[in-house]
Structures are given as C-alpha cells and as structure tokens.
C-alpha cells in the first residue's frame, strides 16, 4: 500500500469537519475515509460480527508493517471509546504535504504516517490498442510560463 495519513480526533464532529475540509480542498472522496462508531465507513464493509472487529480488520489492512502491529487494536479501542479517525490516501509528495498541513491545523489527538516518505511516480492509466491497459507516467512541473496540475488543484499554496 502507498502513503497513508491517519488522524485521530476525540469526537465525530471534529473528524467530520476535517473530512469536509479535505474534500473542499480538492481531495477525492474515495481517498478520504472517516471511521467512527456512528459511521464505520470503509470499516463497515469488513466481514466481521462486531463494529470493533470490523475496525480492527480495516486498520490491519492499512497498517501492515511490523512496527505497526499494535496500532490496529489501539485504534479500534479508540473508536469504541467515541473517537473518530480520518484516513487520507494521498498521491505524491504535494498531496501528502497538503493533507499533512490541513490535518495538523485541525489539532487532532494523534497523527500516524505510513510510508509518507516513499513517493514513486504518479500514474494515470490509458487504453492502448488491443484493449490492453498501459501505465503512463505523468511528469508536470511548475514553471513561470505554465501552471502545473497542482497549481490548479491547490491554488494559493506553494509546492
């Protein structure tokens, strides 16, 4: 899995405001997940009998490294206690930096970063002859003569 930012908020309302802020800022809704006891989100799709077990499975799919082994249980218990999480799946360094900035401004109780320093190429799929899908690399750089895609997505920010 690629970069993950996970912020823990002490209450659902704060997490919900953060989700709205991220989406308004340009993050696609499929890459901003809210998990709370009243709204399990993606965790609710896990095949388990209880909300706790669903959250535990969900967080285990996100946090798989050996040094993260205890985190899914801790996060599931925090959800049980009324906390809520916002998970952002940023693509590339610019989105990671912007999501980190927005999350920190909201003063969450905790922020976890998973593989946020690993930034490979950003990709777009394109269809080429014979119905096969090929991955094309997109390399857009900002210059004084031309705004890059990030300048258009995040106006007013420096990157």
Within a domain: 12: yes
Tens-place pLDDT, residues 108-144: 999 988 766 665 544 444 344 443 333 333 334 555 5
Report CA-CA distances (Å) from 39 to 23, 61, 69, 133, 158.
17, 18, 24, 36, 34
User: What is the count of structural domains for the chain?
Assistant: 2
Tens-place pLDDT, residues 28-71: 999 999 999 999 998 988 888 999 999 999 999 998 888 899 99
Within a domain: 93: yes
**Same domain, residue pair 84 and 42:** yes
Q: Which residue has the tokens 């709204």?
A: 39
**Same domain, residue pair 101 and 145:** no
**Same domain, residue pair 79 and 141:** no
Within a domain: 159: no
Which of 78, 76, 94 minimizes the C-alpha distance to 3? 94
**Same domain, residue pair 103 and 32:** yes
Which of 73, 56, 62 minimizes the C-alpha distance to 6? 62
In the predicted model, is pLDDT for residue 107 greater than 90? yes
Within a domain: 41: yes
What is the domain range of residue 134?
123-153
**Same domain, residue pair 75 and 143:** no
User: What integer is the mean pLDDT of 8-35?
Assistant: 95
Within a domain: 158: no
Question: Which DSSP helix (H) or strand (E) runs through 126?
Answer: strand 123-128
Question: What is the model's pLDDT at position 148?
Answer: 60
Predicted model pTM: 0.72
The 8-class DSSP code of residue 66 comes to: G
**Same domain, residue pair 102 and 139:** no
- As a whole number of angstroms, the distance between CA 78 and CA 100 comes to 21
């Amino acid at each position: 899995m690629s970069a993950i930012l996970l912020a823990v908020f002490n209450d659902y309302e704060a997490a919900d405001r953060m989700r709205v802020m991220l989406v308004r800022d340009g993050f696609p809704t499929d890459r901003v997940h809210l998990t709370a006891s009243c709204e399990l989100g993606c965790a609710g799709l896990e095949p388990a009998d209880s909300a706790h077990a669903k959250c535990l499975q969900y967080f285990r799919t996100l946090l798989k490294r050996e040094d993260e082994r205890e985190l899914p249980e801790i996060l599931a218990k925090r959800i049980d206690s009324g906390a809520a999480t916002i998970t952002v799946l940023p693509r590339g360094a610019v989105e990671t930096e912007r999501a980190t900035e927005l999350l920190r401004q909201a003063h969450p109780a905790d922020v976890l970063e998973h593989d946020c320093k690993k930034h490979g190429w950003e990709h777009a799929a394109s269809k080429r002859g014979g119905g096969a899908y090929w991955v094309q690399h997109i390399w857009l750089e900002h210059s004084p003569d031309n705004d890059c895609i990030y300048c258009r997505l995040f106006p007013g920010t420096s990157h």
